[in-house]
Amino acid sequence: METIAIPAINLAPIMPEIILSCIAMLLLLVNVFVPSESKGYLGVLSLVGLVATAASVVSGWGQPVAAFGGAVQLDNFAVFFKLIFICSAALAILISDKYVVREEINHGELYPLILFATVGMMLMACGMDLMVIFLGLEVLSISLYVLAGFNRGSLKSNEAGLKYFLLGAFSTGFLLYGMALTYGATGSTKIGNIAGFVATNPQVATNSLFVVGMLLIAVGFSFKTAAAPFHMWTPDVYEGAPTPITAFMSAGPKAAAFAAFIRVMIVAFPTLKHDWTDLLWILAVLTMTVGNIIALSQDNIKRMLAYSSIAHAGYALVGFTACNPEGVAGILFYMLSYTFMNIGAFAVIVLIGKKGEANGNVQDFAGLGQKRPLLAAILCVFLFSLAGIPPTAGFVGKFYLFSAAIKSGYIWLAIIGVLNSAASVYYYLRVMVYMYFKPSEEDFDWVGMTPAIAVCLLLCVATTLVLGVVPGTVLELAQKAVQF
């Protein structure tokens, strides 16, 4: 009987995942002994875990290390994305403490699930093996299905969980099928090996298995990035899921899907570049336009932000279509900005909301500008940033993405992009119209700031403005992160 020689194992590149998984499991254990009124401490513990993970992630900057026979690779690209995921998880945890108490879903399992989702995202960002990427995606998705349906007493939340599960499973099918065909055509699941095979056998570009595999993988990731026409699940899920989870889903997992999408496409399918950039061109235009046009008519603010997040995925796809280093760096920068500005906006929604997801309509914001001037001003910053108006992070991000598109010669794509951002201004302005121009009917006396949300808002506002006014350093980091 032959013995199996286990290859040398270098745990350093997956240290962040290990730390975070351990923290999550620890939380599960501790949870049993924590009485329900002090579950908030679990949130604190998970924040500590996230900070430790971030420290371990940062140490990987500048020295790409591969491990497990090239199944994972911790490079700058992965580090940058992992930091985005950690930020989104931390911010989501910060805004959940008030929300879970109000909605009476103060279960300790919330935090481990968010951390597991983060582990999944991090695996997607550093995965160099289709199997690792797929399993990372599954860890992420399973956690998110549960998180979306976390509010068991609410029909909408149940619907969100189920819908997300069904459509998520469907999209996973596409993705897996695509990976299987690609494996069949190239004989490996490691994208490094696939790239090597493609380089030595250029005729594989005419192999239908390979082409269909690429298409199916693209479709699968498009589902996850909520690109039109694969966006149908987004509005219902975002509206029904608990608000902090919606904030989390719109930022982290979207970025994770982009991370894996970009790496797989650029590394494994370089010979089909013309095909998939054409495809992405169409996806980008559809995504921006559909997201913005439908968002125009939304009254529910969570739903509106859901459609707007579709549109924002479209802007990121513009950079992806450009497919130059600037475009990819633009996506990195944009996803970072989007995490802060979008979760910041959701934090305000959490504050304004009442039990049972009430007060989620744009009309409920009437008079906020008079009654709560500071909160309204903060929301304005986020909305202006989402709309891409200087001097905010959103503007610099869009500026970078559209410059990349123009540089690659996609001038029409850039024009369609700016026209879309003009349209998007309308629905962001609409919130401000209600906040400032309509008389208030309520006193907003239930709006109580908690330290956690205050920290979250402060972080988000500061980042949105700093990245808008002096983005130089982060832009350089994003540029250095474009290496696969």
- Reference 336, options 479, 154, 184, 128; nearest CA is 479
Q: Which of 199, 232, 415, 449 binds other proteins (CB under 8 A)?
A: 415
Q: Which two tokens stand for residue 308?
A: 């707007």
CA distances (Å), origin 241, targets 141, 177, 371? 14, 29, 28
In the complex, what is the shortest distance from the CB of residue 119 to other proteins, in angstroms, rounded to a whole number?
6
Candidate segments 4-12, 83-91, 272-280, 336-344, binder of other proteins by CB under 8 A: 4-12
d(CA 379, CA 304) in angstroms, rounded, equals 15
- Judged by CB under 8 A, which stretch of 83-91, 271-279, 298-306, 464-472 contacts other proteins? 464-472
Taking each helix axis from N to C end, the angle separating 110-126 and 243-263, rounded to the nearest 10 degrees, works out to 10
Query: Which own/partner contact pairs does 469-474 have at CB distance under 8 Å and 24+ positions apart?
Result: 469/391, 471/333, 471/393, 471/396, 474/333, 474/336
Tell me which stretch binds other proteins (CB under 8 A): 235-243, 312-320, 343-351, 394-402: 394-402
Sites for other proteins among residues 436-455 (CB under 8 A): 436-437
Interacting span for other proteins (CB under 8 A) from 67-75, 353-361, 440-448, 458-466: 67-75
Least distance CB 258 / other proteins (angstroms): 20
| Contact residue for other proteins among 6, 8, 29, 32 (CB under 8 A) | 6
The Cα–Cα gap between 321 and 327 comes to 8
Scanning 267-275, 410-418, 440-448, 457-465 for contacts with other proteins by CB under 8 A, the matching segment is 410-418
Q: Which SS3 state, helix, strand or coil, does residue 11 take?
A: coil
Q: Is 308 among the residues that bind other proteins (CB under 8 A)? A: no
Residue 242 sits in the site that holds other proteins (CB under 8 A): no
H-helix or E-strand containing 295? helix 273-295
Residue 255 has, within 13 A of its CA and on its CB side, a CA count of 38
- Taking the least distance from each CB to other proteins, the nearer of 120 and 327 is 120
Q: Which listed residue (12, 59, 69, 356) binds other proteins by CB under 8 A? A: 69
If one asks whether residue 433 binds other proteins (CB under 8 A), the answer comes out as yes
Q: Which two tokens stand for residue 309?
A: 């997040």
Number of shown-chain residues binding other proteins (CB under 8 A)? 86
What is the CB neighbour count within 10 angstroms for residue 466? Answer: 15
Given the complex with other proteins, which of 142 and 450 has the nearer CB atom? 142
Interface residue with other proteins among 232, 422, 449, 462 (CB under 8 A) is 422
Q: x-or-dash pattern for other proteins, window 108-147, by CB under 8 A?
A: -x--xx--xx-xx--x-----x-xx--xx-xx--xx-xx-
Name residues contacting other proteins, limited to 160-219 (CB under 8 A).
Answer: 161, 184-188, 197, 201, 203, 206-209, 211-212
336: left (phi over 0), alpha (psi -120 to 50) or beta: alpha
| Listed residue (132, 34, 139, 41) closest to 85, CA to CA | 139
One residue of 64, 325, 356, 391 binding other proteins per CB under 8 A: 391
* Residue 407 makes contact with other proteins by CB under 8 A: yes
